[in-house]
A and B are shown apart, each in its own frame.
Chain A
Amino acid sequence: MIAELGHIALILALTLALVQGILPMIGAARGIGNWIALAPPAALGQAVLVAFAFGCLMYAHVTSDFSVLNVAENSNTLKPMLYKITGVWGNHEGSLMLWIFILAIFGAAMAIFSRNLPATLRARVLSVQGLIGVGFIAFILFTSNPFARVLPPPMEGRGLNPLLQDPGLAFHPPFLYLGYVGFSVAFAFAVAALIEGRVDSAWARWVRPWTLAAWCFLTIGIALGSWWAYYELGWGGWWYWDPVENASFMPWLAGTALLHSAIVVEKRDTLKSWTILLAILTFSLSLLGTFLVRSGVINSVHAFATDPTRGVFILIFLSIVVGGSLTLYAVRAPALQAVGVFAPISREGALLLNNLLLTVAAAAVLLGTLYPMALDALTGDKVSVGPQYFNTIFIPLMAPLLAAVAIGPMLAWKRGDLAAALRQLVPAAIAVAVAFAIGLLLLDGRSFMTLLGLGLAAWLAIGTLCEWALRVKLFAAPAAETLRRAKGLPRSAWGMTVAHLGVAVVVLGITVSQTWQVEVQQVMKPGDVAKVGPVEYRFLDVSPVKGPNYTARQGRFEVLRDGEVIREMFPAQRRYQQPPMETTEAAIRPSPIADLYAVIGEGDADRGWAVRLYWKPMVSLIWLGALIMAFGGFLSLSDRRYRVGAPARKRVTAAAAAE
């Protein structure tokens, strides 16, 4: 009964989404006030219905109603409650439900917060958002119904993939989808602006907070996914350039570019058609990611169970959304007039450079992701594109970008003075020299990549701090004056400083952990000691452990430093009953200095156990840095100008003066 109610609510939501998608659009074109006014209530109604349907599915999962096929296939009575709830989105149908749930929430939020938008723009934005909803709800209803029943109902469910029974992964999809779906708002604004034929700084000011929020969520989502791969897969790595990872990384790269180009539109009223294109591309890449993950065109370690009809549906949907918006772009974008002109050396120029490098990077990732498929189609060869390709292409693109990040904010709008900016960055140059010296001192192999990474991290961190110091007149004015200026600094400026520092932290983490990581793989027997970098792991014993829905073999290690025991670690190998599957539970002791990481594999008392032991210096900084970036984004989001929506004219001037 509950499942049927959910199904009906979903069908009603589809009809409401159709209303929201069609009538306001026509109303805005023909000037029919009543039809224009339909958009916000339709968006709110759709949100209520979708939330209700999502709640019904969750209820079926929580109560283990195995007469619902989706529950029978993915849940199990033994599963802990947390994973019964998060298991709702641990499968294809449920994750799509989460997707439209978040889409509907964004739609409702737009309806609520867009009161001071011009009426026609508001109607068109919500209408585009409604049409996206139509596509996804129809996709669920026609190809992936989560409410389908099974007769006779099985006594017990098949259970959730144990790899997904994990807090990191439980919250990874919601954040990821908040990011993907959040970019639909920027997309809706872009399409509406193309239809209206008008893009100005007010438009950019409306788009930016949504884009920023989506970007923050996506950053957290990707970081969570990478963290999960690090500790749950037990391979010791944190990024594999897997197609599914790339699917989330491409919109992030494009979204980062969008975030920065929207600043130019807002402040300088130029780069308009480019920003519109980026908004379209960012959401298109989110959709493309969905297609790649769910259609089975590419092979990946963590793609969903696939089905050709779903692939065909998404491809058609993709063609309509992306093809349609790009056609609109081709027709309307030439008419968008740039107002502000700027010299190559200027804040705009620096942001454009940022955009170019990020877009090329996104294109390179796309190429690497699609290449195996293209080659298969053309020659029938099966290949996979590995880290080698991505690293070769990525590092040369990121190095100049990171170098420019410190310089860009120092340049003035319109026409900047590079020499003056570089003079301000002398402390950063000194920091680079110190980083090189430390690197050369510690490094036997004198690896160029390590020096590059250390240098960039130092340059970026100190350069960002220099810019901040300049703003608050640190040491240049009395302390009281500096404090007053720091207090008066807009949150968006703080946000930028924090986010850029976050990037430096990520770069440092990647460089140090890649260079100085120590990995030991061997067969060990109880009592054996292995030297791993500056520490020693002593293998004590292995004992059986019983969990709620698994049994495990748990190893016990003592970690010694200079002969003293500093840690005990318990890596385990779990065998789940339902579904029958083994997972590796790496034992990890994170710390800012170095992570200790131990994995126990197959073996027995006579033969010994295959173990992998690591010493991973500063690897935690990678995720910490990502969180700092997201925090910077949220800080910027809390800026006054965004909170009050479209601010009064006077306030705009005040904010602009503070920049």
Chain B
Amino acid sequence: MRLTYLIPLLLFVLIGIGLAVGLTLKPREIPSALIGKPVPEFQLPPIQGHEKGLATTDLKQGAPSVVNVFASWCVPCRVEHPLFMALRRDGLAPIYAINYKDKPADVAKWLDQLGDPFTQIGADLDGRVSIDWGVYGVPETFIIDGQGRIACKHVGPLTDWDLDNKIRPLLRDLKAGRKSDVKC
């Protein structure tokens, strides 16, 4: 009978051990760990009506590139889309895209309507590859250096300010091979 009074203590000991183990883990390291690391190994099929998909090798061609994760159902993606059209006109770097959990017909219509700034698009139908990229939600934009390492990650839609102060200077620095002081 007295033993029942021990139950709270035993439960707490269990939780305490769990918390001690928990202290050694670093749940926050997922997002930041990717900066400076090589892009994950992946191979995505093309979207409907396109010939090329997207794979890790495309990002290791020696020149910096941009990878945008988008979906046709995402309103902020629609808002940032013209900025990618502008970036495409600059010709600073190829813009790749990962199409996140989208219907093939929807994305084709979306690109027809708004224009297609992307060099190659990989269709990530079940979102698995995006998880490897550490994507929280769409849109997200990555800058990749020539060796296939992630140089910068932007969460949420790009703005004019981001384009002028982050994306373009960083791409120029990467192209020139100098150390960049752009903060990500």
Residues of A that sit less than 8 Å from B by CB:
273, 277, 280-281, 284, 291, 295-299, 306, 308, 311-312, 315, 318-319, 322-323, 326-327, 329-330, 333-334, 370, 372-374, 376-377, 382, 521-523, 601-604, 606-610
State A522–B5 Cα separation when bound (angstroms).
58
A contact residues around B19 at 8 Å (CB): 291, 295, 297, 315, 318, 373
Q: Are A601 and B79 in contact (CB under 8 A)?
A: yes
Contacts of B16 in A (CB 8 A): 315, 318-319, 322-323
Additional pairs, 16, CB under 8 Å, beyond known A319-B16, A523-B78, A610-B76: A297-B22, A299-B27, A323-B16, A329-B9, A330-B8, A334-B2, A372-B27, A373-B19, A376-B27, A601-B75, A601-B157, A606-B82, A607-B82, A608-B79, A610-B78, A610-B79
Point out which of A311, A326, A521 has the most chain B C-beta atoms below 10 A from its C-beta: A326
* A297 B5 Cβ-Cβ under 8 A: no
Q: State A644–B19 Cα separation when bound (angstroms).
A: 44
* Contacting residues, chain B, for A319 (C-beta < 8 A): 16
Closest to B131 in A: A382
Which residues of B, 113-157, contact A by the 8 Å Cβ criterion? Answer: 157
B25 interface residue per 8 A CB criterion = yes
Chain B min CB distance to A560 (Å): 23
Give per-residue flags for B1-30: 1 if the beta carbon is below 8 A from chain A beta carbons, else 0: 110011011001101101111110111101
Q: Is B32 an interface residue (CB 8 A)?
A: no
Query: Contact between A329 and B26 (Cβ–Cβ < 8 Å)?
Result: no
**How many angstroms from the CA of A591 to the CA of B50 in the assembled complex?**
52
Does B90 sit within 8 A of A, measured CB to CB? no
> Which residues from B are CB-within-8-Å of A277?
8
**Those of B51-75 within 8 Å (CB) of chain A:** 75
A-B contact pairs, 7 of them (CB 8 A): A295-B23, A298-B22, A308-B23, A315-B19, A330-B5, A334-B2, A610-B157
Chain A minimum-CB-distance residue to B28: A299
CB proximity to A under 8 Å, residues B75-127: 75-76, 78-80, 82
Question: Is there a chain A Cβ closer than 8 Å to B160's Cβ?
Answer: yes
C-alpha gap A318/B25 in the complex (Å):
19
Known A-B contacts A296-B28, A607-B79; the reply to A373 vs B160 at CB < 8 A is: no
**Cα–Cα, bound, A291→B76 (Å):** 36
Report A366 CB to chain B, min CB distance, Å: 8
Total interface residues on B, CB under 8 Å, equals: 30
- Which of B5, B20, B22, B30 meets A329, CB within 8 Å? B5
Chain B residue with Cβ nearest A607: B82
B26 touches A333 (CB 8 A): no
State in angstroms the CA–CA spacing of A291 and B82 once bound together. 45
Chain B residues with Cβ under 8 A from A609's Cβ?
A: 79
Q: Choose from A298, A312, A327, A374 the contact partner of B27 (Cβ within 8 Å).
A: A298
| A582 closest partner in B (C-beta) | B159
Report A319 CB to chain B, min CB distance, Å. Answer: 6
Say whether, besides A277-B8, A323-B13, A602-B157, A522 and B30 are in contact (CB < 8 Å): no
Chain B: which residue is nearest A332 at the CB level?
B5
Question: Which of the residues B18, B79, B80 comes within 8 Å of A377, measured between beta carbons?
Answer: B18
Contact A382–B8 (Cβ < 8 Å): no
Q: How far is the CA of A388 from the CA of B94 in the complex (A)?
A: 41
B13, B23, B30, B76, most chain A CB atoms within 10 A:
B23
Chain B residues in 8 Å Cβ range of A296: 23, 26-28
Q: Which 3 A-B pairs have the closest CB atoms?
A: A297-B22, A326-B9, A299-B27
Q: Which residues of A contact B18 (CB under 8 A)?
A: 370, 373-374, 377
Contact of A315 among B5, B23, B82 (CB under 8 A): B23
A334 to B6, CA, bound (A): 10
Residue in B12, B23, B75, B82 whose CB lies within 8 Å of A610: B75
A603 near B79 (CB under 8 angstroms)?
yes
Residues of the B chain whose Cβ atoms lie less than 8 Å from the Cβ of A312: 23
Please report the C-alpha to C-alpha distance between residue A296 and residue B160 in the assembled complex, in whole angstroms.
Answer: 34
The residue on B at minimum CB distance from A522 is: B75
Complex CA–CA separation, A609 to B12 (angstroms): 51
Instruction: List the A side residues contacting B1 at CB < 8 Å.
Output: 334
Asked if A322 and B27 sit within 8 Å, CB to CB, the answer is no
Give every chain B residue within 8 A of A280 (Cβ-Cβ).
8
Contact A523 B75 (CB under 8 A): yes
B26 to chain A: which residues have CB within 8 Å? 296
Q: Give chain B residues whose Cβ lies under 8 Å from the Cβ of A373.
A: 18-19, 22, 25, 27
Complex formed: what's the CA distance from A523 to B82 in Å?
13
Distance A330 CA – B7 CA, assembled complex (angstroms):
8
- CB-CB < 8 A to A376: which residues of B? 22, 25, 27
Least Cβ–Cβ distance between A637 and chain B, in angstroms = 29
B12 pairs with A382, CB closer than 8 A: no
- Among B5, B22, B25, contact of A334 (Cβ-Cβ < 8 Å): B5
Chain A contacts of B75 at CB under 8 A? 521-523, 601, 610
Among the listed A306, A370, A522, A603, which residue makes an inter-chain contact with B15, where contact means beta carbons less than 8 Å apart?
A: A370
Which A residues lie within 8 Å of B157 (CB)? 601-602, 610
